[in-house]
Structures are given as structure tokens and as C-alpha cells.
């Protein structure tokens, strides 16, 4: 529990009492943020390494609490998962993303797919597929404009259930990506048991790629694996030209990272789409 929000709230000491008080404080803040819909989205482009063109975006949630402090999703998403609030957060993200895609569509802009992060915990909630179907209908957008990113997790152990849900999402036209690939689950078994389209190489392997033979070997292996399984690869956390060279030479299709674009406001995406 100690790690919760440590980067943002360094004034809390490490005692158990302080951290559980902080936990409660943050949970209450999160509840009220959900009620008041105090979230926003930013969008990070995914770039085709061959053409250098933007081909898609990833939506990332942002939250500034009552005091105007930025709280990282890396801190509050795990809390939302532990407290059962994740379904509401996830619903908000889906609605807000579809609403945004609709407004780009209404402007007559060329549409590009937007990926949303779906917590593995949400796969245990009833009606995940219905939620997606209803949102697509409500905003009149094709499923092909949505992707989901799921982190490898223990929930992948319930293969049949997971497989069924992913298959239904795919039937809606939605693309399925495994996020943070290489960091989580130890078995590769699920790769051919689950209907998956994309692997995202975790940024911990990419950020420190050049000259790090360990990370080079891992990135290389993931790219070979993906090619053999006919999966698309996205490298995340691309910050340097050297890492782009490495990835391009090995046939990595897509990249995401500060080298190309940081996550941006919807209005900046609008400008990007106008010039697309």
C-alpha cells in the first residue's frame, strides 16, 4: 500500500497508518470524481514506422483532484480496481472516447481508430460486451474505430471466459491488443488460445534498448514471435532515433512514444486530423 501515490504525495510518511489514511482519502476523492465526472482524456498517436504517418491513437485518462493536483492513472487505476470503482471509470472512458470520435466524425474529419485501456478486472463485470455495443450504437460509430488494450494478467487464466468475451468484441469490429507484453504473465499459451490482434512491447524494454543486449534480445524475440503468430507489433515508449532504427530493421510496424508525440489534447488531435 505504501507505493500508492508516493510520487505525488511525498509528504505522507511511510507508516501503515498514514498510508491507509491516504488510501481512504484517495478512495473518497475518486468516488466524488466519478460522480462529478472530473476526468478528461488525452490521446497519444501511434505511428507507422514505414510511412511515418499516424495510424491510430491511444486514449489515456487524466484526473486532477479537488485541489487541482494531478493524480497519475498508474496510482488511481489500481485503487479503482481494488475498490470496485473500475467499472465506473471504464464506462466513463468508453463513453468519452466514443463521444470524441463522434465529434471528429461530425466535423467530417478522416477517422482513425482509438485504443482504450480496459482493466482485466472489467472482464469480471457483467455486460462488458453490451456496454461496448451500446456505446457504438449510441454514438453511431463503427467498431473498427475502437481498439482495446489489456494488460497480461492472472485473469487470462480463465481462458474460456476471456476468449468468449474477446471474440464477441472482435465481432463488433474491435481490435484486441495485449498491453505491456513481456512483463506479466509467464505462459505464452494464451497467445494462440485467445483471439488477439496486436502485441505492445512494454516500454521498459524499449526505453533502454540501444546498447542493452538484454533488452535487444527481448524485443527481437517478441518481434519474431509476433511475425510467426501473424500479430501486429506496437513498440511503446520510443524516445530515441536509435531505438527506431533497431525496431524498423526488425520489421516492427508501429511505434508510440515521446520521440514522435506525447499524449495530446483532443483539440490537438483535431488539428492533426485536419492535416492528415
Q: Could you list the residues that contact ligand C2E (CB under 6 A)?
A: 44, 60-61, 72-74, 77, 93, 117, 119, 149, 179-180, 203, 236-239, 256-258, 263
Comparing CB distances to Ca ion, the nearer of 236 and 253 is: 236
CB of 179 to ligand C2E, least distance (A): 5
C-alpha cell at 216: 535487444
Q: List the single partner that 74 binds among Ca ion, ligand C2E, none, CB under 5 to 8 Å by kind.
A: ligand C2E
User: Of residues 117-136, which lie at the interface with Ca ion (CB under 5 A)?
Assistant: 117
**CA pair distance 179, 244, nearest whole angstrom:** 19
CB of 108 to ligand C2E, least distance (A): 27
Q: Are 218 and 182 in contact (CB under 8 A)?
A: yes
Instruction: Rule CB under 5 A: say whether 179 interacts with Ca ion.
Output: yes
CB of 17 to ligand C2E, least distance (A): 27
User: Who's near 186: CB < 8 A, 6+ residues apart?
Assistant: none
Residue nearest to ligand C2E (CB): 257
**CA pair distance 145, 36, nearest whole angstrom:** 27
Q: List the single partner that 152 binds among ligand C2E, Ca ion, none, CB under 5 to 8 Å by kind.
A: none
SS3 content of the chain, % helix, strand, coil (to 5): 50, 20, 30
CB of 136 to ligand C2E, least distance (A): 18
Q: Is 66 exposed, middle or buried (0-12, 13-18, 19+ CB in 10 A)?
A: exposed
Instruction: Rule CB under 5 A: say whether 180 interacts with Ca ion.
Output: yes
Dihedral of the alpha carbons of 65, 67, 72, 78, in degrees to the nearest 10 = -50
Instruction: Rule CB under 5 A: say whether 253 interacts with Ca ion.
Output: no
Q: List the single partner that 175 binds among Ca ion, ligand C2E, none, CB under 5 to 8 Å by kind.
A: none
Beta-strand ranges (E) seen in 192-258 are 198-201, 232-236, 254-256
- Window of 3-11, 18-26, 113-121, 226-234 that interacts with Ca ion by CB under 5 A: 113-121
Amino acid at each position: 500500500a505504501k507505493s500508492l501515490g508516493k510520487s505525488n504525495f511525498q509528504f505522507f510518511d511511510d507508516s501503515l497508518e498514514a498510508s491507509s489514511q491516504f488510501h481512504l482519502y484517495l478512495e473518497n476523492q475518486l468516488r466524488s470524481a466519478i460522480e462529478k465526472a472530473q476526468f478528461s482524456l488525452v490521446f497519444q498517436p501511434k505511428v507507422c514506422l514505414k510511412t511515418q504517418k499516424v495510424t491510430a491513437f491511444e486514449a489515456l485518462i487524466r484526473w486532477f483532484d479537488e485541489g487541482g493536483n494531478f493524480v497519475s492513472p498508474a496510482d488511481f487505476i489500481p485503487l479503482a480496481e481494488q475498490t470496485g470503482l473500475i467499472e465506473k471509470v471504464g464506462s466513463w472512458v468508453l463513453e468519452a472516447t466514443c463521444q470524441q470520435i463522434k465529434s471528429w466524425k461530425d466535423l467530417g474529419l478522416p477517422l482513425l481508430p482509438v485504443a482504450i485501456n480496459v482493466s482485466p478486472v472489467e472482464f469480471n463485470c457483467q455486460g462488458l460486451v453490451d456496454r461496448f455495443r451500446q456505446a457504438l450504437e449510441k454514438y453511431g460509430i463503427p467498431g473498427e474505430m475502437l481498439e482495446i488494450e489489456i494488460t497480461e494478467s492472472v485473469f487470462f487464466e480463465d481462458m474460456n471466459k476471456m476468449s468468449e468475451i474477446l471474440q464477441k468484441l472482435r465481432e463488433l469490429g474491435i481490435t484486441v491488443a495485449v498491453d505491456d507484453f513481456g512483463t506479466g504473465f509467464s505462459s505464452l499459451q494464451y497467445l494462440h488460445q485467445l483471439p488477439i490482434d496486436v502485441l505492445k512491447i512494454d516500454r521498459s524494454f524499449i526505453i533502454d534498448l540501444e546498447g542493452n543486449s538484454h533488452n535487444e534480445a527481448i524485443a527481437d524475440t517478441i518481434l519474431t514471435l509476433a511475425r510467426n503468430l501473424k500479430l501486429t507489433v506496437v513498440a511503446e515508449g520510443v524516445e530515441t532515433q536509435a531505438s527506431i532504427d533497431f525496431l524498423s530493421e526488425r520489421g516492427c510496424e508501429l511505434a508510440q512514444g515521446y520521440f514522435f508525440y506525447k499524449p495530446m489534447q483532443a483539440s490537438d488531435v483535431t488539428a492533426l486530423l485536419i492535416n492528415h
